[in-house]
Amino acid sequence: MEPIKWQVPFIDLRLAWSREKVDLLGIVDDVCADARFILRQEVEALEQRAAQRLGVKHAIAVGNGTDAITLGLRVAGVKPGDEVITVAHTFVATIASIVQCGATPILVDIGSDFLMDPGLLEAAITPRTKVVVPVHLNGRCCAMETIGAIANRYGLQIVEDAAQAFGSTLDGKYAGSFGLAGAFSFHPMKVLSCCGDGGLVTTQNDEIAETVKRLRNHGQRNKTEIVHFGVNSRLDNLQAAILLYRLRKLDSILARRRSIALRYHAAFASCGNIILPPHPGNPGDRHQDVVSGFVIRSPDRDALQRHLAGQGIETFAHWWPALHRRDNLHLDFSLPVTESVSNQVLSLPVFPEMTDEQVDWVIRSVLHHG
Ligand SMILES: Cc1ncc(COP(=O)(O)O)c(C=O)c1O
């Protein structure tokens, strides 16, 4: 295997494996020796524990976060010809899920917190609008009180893209518990991750939960009854077993991520050339974010990224170029804040196995440039 050349990689997933290897190999052996592969007790246990953790009535494990959004949209009744409102400052999966349903994505601009600007929502609503998809990017909840009130007023459903926000809260309510459905990803880069692809749909609604359960398994209610056509988007039982194990350790993982983010915040507070992301929240604050990414902004982003690469620090410009600026995607919207933010963003390394020395090195290197 290629050795990682970075002194501070953006993330090093091999470190998690070496820490967990003995436990995870035991889990894999236990599941495989008993041939518990598809929709077995580990999937059910994960669904129960995730629902408890997220303060929702139901959690349904699916194949990945993209399917979780698509299934959420399907159960919200999205059909060809409908419009679904979301943002361009997100991973392409959010918009692809809308397109997958045959609907038209309508993109609104974001605020300086990287999240949907609720003040722009109302003007984007038309008689064809069916659903709003707020994206809780970087583990921070969108302004759900305003978005929810507008959606209610116009009879729209909300499907939350909570792919990056497992455990984030706003006013004590968890991401994924505000709308008709919430969609999570367990991709290896996420705060709660499996060893491959995985996802979760959350809902408070019994009927929606039953429908998602059927849809993820070819529309089958049981072994003999097929209610309608669905898809194959079952979470592998092995991945569920790994997720159950990691869910038990989630609090310490989140605490380590948060402590790194707090150090960055304190160190860069008086750095004139850098715009900091929102603070992840002190005890008692309305927002309690999970730090799924630490994204700074710099007018001099490309030079800063080159400088950090020269210091052995790997960074990414998520999400640049902005999706609506890619001609091949045909998303013709004017989104000035998205555009300027996407030209400035730089995601710094933040992962639980990062050492204090690596955090120091990132801080020193950023300050040295700025
Ligand atoms: C904001 C956002 N939405 C959707 C997804 C899609 O999730 P997945 O890769 O599990 O399909 C991701 C992650 O990759 C994401 O970051």
Does any domain span residue 296?
A: yes
For the chain, what is the largest distance between any 2 Cα atoms, rounded to a whole number of angstroms?
66
> Among 99, 187, 236, 295, which residue has the most ligand 1 atoms within 8 Å of its CB, making it the best to mutate?
187
Q: How far is the CA of 367 from the centre of ligand 1 (A)?
A: 31
End residue of a domain, out of 208, 227, 248 = 248
Determine the average pLDDT of the residues in 129-155.
Answer: 98
Q: How far is the C-alpha of 13 from the C-alpha of 23, rounded, in Å? A: 16
pLDDT at 1 over 90: no
Does any domain span residue 8?
A: no
Residue nearest to ligand 1 atom 12, measured at CA: 163
pLDDT at 213 over 90: yes
pLDDT at 2 over 90: no
Contact, 168 vs 140, CB < 8 A? yes
Q: How far is the C-alpha of 252 from the C-alpha of 65, rounded, in Å? A: 23
**Are 221 and 262 members of one domain?**
no
> Among 71, 84, 91, 200, which residue has the most ligand 1 atoms within 8 Å of its CB, making it the best to mutate?
91
**Are 244 and 262 members of one domain?**
no
Q: How far is the CA of 93 from the centre of ligand 1 (A)?
A: 6
Confidence (pLDDT) at 151: 98
Cβ of residue 66 lying under 6 Å from some atom of ligand 1: yes
* 152-156: long-range contacts, CB 8 A cutoff, minimum separation 24: 154/122, 154/125, 154/129, 156/125, 156/129, 156/130, 156/131, 156/132
Q: How far is the C-alpha of 164 from the C-alpha of 14, rounded, in Å? A: 21
Q: What crossing angle do the helices spanning 250-268 and 237-248 adopt, rounded to 10°?
A: 60
* CA 174 to chain CA centroid, nearest Å: 13
Q: How far is the CA of 38 from the centre of ligand 1 (A)?
A: 23
* CA 227 to chain CA centroid, nearest Å: 31
Q: Which residues contact 334 (CB under 8 A, 6 or more apart)?
A: none
Does any domain span residue 1?
A: no
**Are 24 and 98 members of one domain?**
yes
Determine the average pLDDT of the residues in 130-159.
Answer: 98
- Asked, as a colleague might, if the bond just before 321 is cis with ω within 30 of 0, I would say yes
**Are 204 and 274 members of one domain?**
no
Q: How far is the C-alpha of 9 from the C-alpha of 241, rounded, in Å? A: 28
Cβ of residue 164 lying under 6 Å from some atom of ligand 1: yes
- Dihedral in degrees, nearest 10, Cα atoms 94, 95, 100, 105: 130
The two structure tokens encoding residue 146: 């305003």
Q: How far is the CA of 116 from the centre of ligand 1 (A)?
A: 17
> Among 100, 140, 185, which residue has the most ligand 1 atoms within 8 Å of its CB, making it the best to mutate?
185
Cβ of residue 161 lying under 6 Å from some atom of ligand 1: yes
Does any domain span residue 340?
A: yes
**Are 78 and 205 members of one domain?**
yes
Percent of the chain surpassing pLDDT 90: 97
Q: How far is the CA of 278 from the centre of ligand 1 (A)?
A: 21
CATH number at residue 71: 3.40.640.10
pLDDT at 369 over 80: yes
Cβ of residue 94 lying under 6 Å from some atom of ligand 1: yes
**Are 46 and 150 members of one domain?**
yes
The two structure tokens encoding residue 162: 């909570």
Q: How many domains does the chain have?
A: 2
Atom of ligand 1 nearest to the CA of 199: 10
Of all helices (H) and strands (E), which one includes residue 251? Answer: helix 250-268
Q: How high is the mean pLDDT of the chain?
A: 97
Q: How far is the C-alpha of 294 from the C-alpha of 296, rounded, in Å? A: 7
Confidence (pLDDT) at 5: 85
The parent domain of residue 73 ranges over 14-109+116-248
Contact, 154 vs 125, CB < 8 A? yes
- What φ, ψ does residue 119 adopt, rounded to 5°? -70, -15
Q: How far is the CA of 68 from the centre of ligand 1 (A)?
A: 9
The model's pTM: 0.98
Confidence (pLDDT) at 51: 98
The single-letter DSSP state of residue 324 is G
**Are 272 and 199 members of one domain?**
no
Q: Which residues pair with 108 in a beta bridge?
A: 87
CATH number at residue 271: 3.90.1150.10
Determine the average pLDDT of the residues in 56-64.
Answer: 98
**How confident is the model over 26-46, as pLDDT tens digits?**
999 999 999 999 999 999 999
**Are 186 and 286 members of one domain?**
no
End residue of a domain, out of 183, 213, 248 = 248
Atom of ligand 1 nearest to the CA of 66: 11
Does any domain span residue 2?
A: no
pLDDT band (50, 70, 90) for residue 285: very high
Of all helices (H) and strands (E), which one includes residue 159? Answer: strand 157-161
- What φ, ψ does residue 61 adopt, rounded to 5°? -80, 135
Q: How far is the CA of 98 from the centre of ligand 1 (A)?
A: 13
Contact, 166 vs 191, CB < 8 A? yes
**Are 281 and 227 members of one domain?**
no
Does any domain span residue 9?
A: no
**How confident is the model over 342-360, as pLDDT tens digits?**
999 999 999 999 999 999 9
Cβ of residue 91 lying under 6 Å from some atom of ligand 1: yes
Rg (the chain; Cα; Å): 21
- Dihedral in degrees, nearest 10, Cα atoms 122, 124, 130, 131: -80
**How confident is the model over 185-202, as pLDDT tens digits?**
999 999 999 999 999 999
**Are 260 and 238 members of one domain?**
no
Confidence (pLDDT) at 3: 60
**Are 166 and 51 members of one domain?**
yes
Does any domain span residue 6?
A: no
Does any domain span residue 359?
A: yes
**Are 83 and 147 members of one domain?**
yes
Nearest of 8, 36, 54 to residue 165 by alpha carbon: 54
Q: How far is the CA of 322 from the centre of ligand 1 (A)?
A: 16
Residue nearest to ligand 1 atom 7, measured at CA: 65
Q: How far is the CA of 40 from the centre of ligand 1 (A)?
A: 25
- Dihedral in degrees, nearest 10, Cα atoms 337, 342, 345, 346: 170
End residue of a domain, out of 248, 277, 309 = 248
Cβ of residue 297 lying under 6 Å from some atom of ligand 1: no
Confidence (pLDDT) at 210: 98
Of all helices (H) and strands (E), which one includes residue 83? Answer: strand 83-87
Contact, 52 vs 99, CB < 8 A? no
**How confident is the model over 291-330, as pLDDT tens digits?**
999 999 999 999 999 999 999 999 999 999 999 999 999 9
